[in-house]
Amino acid sequence: MTVSVPLRPARRVGSGPARSAHTSWPRLDWLLLATVAALLVLGGLLVWSATLHRVDLTGGDDAAYLRKQATNAGIGVVLAAVVAATDHRWLRLWAPVLYAASVVGLALVFVPGVGATINGSHSWLLIGGLSLQPAELAKFGVVLGMAFVLAERSEAHLRQSVNAVDVVPALAIAAVPALLILAQPDLGTLMVLTVTVFGVVGLSGAPKRWLFLLAGGGAAVVVAAVQSGLLAGYQLDRFGAFTDPSLDPRGAGYNTQQARIAIGNGGLTGQGLFNGTQTQAGFVPEQHTDFVFTVAGEELGLAGAAAIVALFALLLWRALRIARRAEDLFGRVAAVGIACWFGFQAFQNIGMCLGIMPVTGVPLPLVSYGGTSMFASLTAVGLLLNIHLRTAGRPGHGVVVRNRMARSRF
């Protein structure tokens, strides 16, 4: 899949009349909003079912996690609305600040008394009674940072595309958080970040040789991490269990075995919401977070699981469509980065539930329980809406798009 869209140089920050996104609310991407809303509702129901009657999780309050998930989604929707309504030029100005904040958050996890280890990964911040995972916010920060650097360098030289010289600082932007995430170590987030960077470079118009260099460099980093002992023993055991599920069925392979049993129990239409035998008995670990897709497979069956996959496919289509129609390089790169982020993370999460990907502990965007992941994902949706509003709100946009479609293809 390639993107080849002739772009005219975007206006520099501070030039021309200000344009407020909120004047274009009728031009919102309603299909994107409906897709996100459906994922949020399904996620709430699945989280509720996974924690129902789980005294070990809720302390006897069956609706505790449902209320927390609804609160997280509400805060995320507010963040998305703020980003969508912010003037596009101000958003570009804030991109370096948001990137720097994400790097600082990643560094703080190594500060004694601030960082915490949960499920074997030292990737959490404990602030008062709140727990935050900066790596989730770093995905959004890297997308913004790379989009900002590529756009600024191209526009400074009055170019409409990315060349080899522009790729180096963009990769440096991604390398800093990647190294901090590797040091935690959070292998799942690192995989998502790597694929996101790969997609941004590949679809931004940069020379294709950079893709081969990135693939080779990524393989070298993996080999070095294994050889140096940087990866924890349980992470290596998970990869061993992935290659041979029968290797340790009561240890590293337990999660995958139970996930497969739960999904297999669902059949075509499922056992009914709140009625899954594996789910309600709590046999699948972390079923409200990393393995929430197994709840859909068991209780909603193949039909419900396929609906979730279809919703993610629809979300990716809208993101790539927004990227294709974006009138500036910043918007195009940011939208492509979000599409790669959501697409691979959903594939990784669903794949580990089905046993076709190793267990790495990444949540299903917009569906799994978790505050930081929800905030980052919905903020990214707000950025997609911002790019769409800015493009759809320009006079003559329809003519521009028709001309582009005649010269462009995915």
* Token pair listed for 89: 């030029």
Give me the mean pLDDT over the 128-141 stretch.
Answer: 87
**Given a cut of 50, is residue 11 above it in pLDDT?**
no
Lowest mean pLDDT among 59-73, 80-94, 116-130: 116-130
Name the residue among 382, 380, 308, 317 with its Cα closest to residue 346.
308
pLDDT band at 242 (very low <50, low <70, confident <90, very high): low
Give me the mean pLDDT over the 73-92 stretch.
Answer: 91
Looking only at Cα atoms, what is the longest distance across the chain? Answer: 64
159-211, pLDDT tens digit by residue? 656 666 778 888 899 999 999 998 888 888 988 999 999 888 887 776 777 77
The pLDDT value given to residue 407: 40
- Cα 319 to the chain's mean position, in Å? 12
* Token pair listed for 58: 């809720």
- Tell me which of 5 and 182 has the higher pLDDT: 182
- Cβ-based neighbour number of residue 144 at 10 Å: 28
The residue ranges of every structural domain in the chain are 27-391
Name the residue among 79, 120, 81, 72 with its Cα closest to residue 98.
79
Place of tokens 């195009």: 332
The pLDDT value given to residue 26: 65
User: Using alpha carbons only, how large is the chain's radius of gyration in Å?
Assistant: 21
The pLDDT value given to residue 13: 41
Percent of the chain clearing pLDDT 90 (strictly above)? 46
Lowest mean pLDDT among 63-72, 168-177, 212-221, 263-272: 212-221
Average pLDDT, the chain: 82
Query: With contact defined as beta carbons under 8 Å apart, do 145 and 173 qualify?
Result: yes
399 Cβ neighbours under 8 A, 6+ residues apart = none
pLDDT band at 233 (very low <50, low <70, confident <90, very high): low
Name the residue among 241, 199, 198 with its Cα closest to residue 352.
241
pLDDT band at 68 (very low <50, low <70, confident <90, very high): very high
Give me the mean pLDDT over the 394-407 stretch.
Answer: 44
Query: With contact defined as beta carbons under 8 Å apart, do 28 and 91 qualify?
Result: no
* Token pair listed for 361: 């502990």
- Cβ-based neighbour number of residue 408 at 10 Å: 15
Query: With contact defined as beta carbons under 8 Å apart, do 42 and 303 qualify?
Result: no
In angstroms, the CA 331 to CA 147 distance is: 7
The pLDDT value given to residue 329: 86
Cα distances (angstroms) measured from residue 161 to each of 3, 75, 124, 201, 282? 11, 36, 38, 12, 52
In angstroms, the CA 234 to CA 225 distance is: 14
- Tell me which of 3 and 58 has the higher pLDDT: 58
355-371, pLDDT tens digit by residue? 888 888 899 999 999 89
Cα distances (angstroms) measured from residue 41 to each of 15, 63, 74, 177? 42, 15, 12, 32
Taken in order 93, 98, 103, 107, the sign of the CA dihedral is positive
Lowest mean pLDDT among 7-16, 179-188, 271-280: 7-16
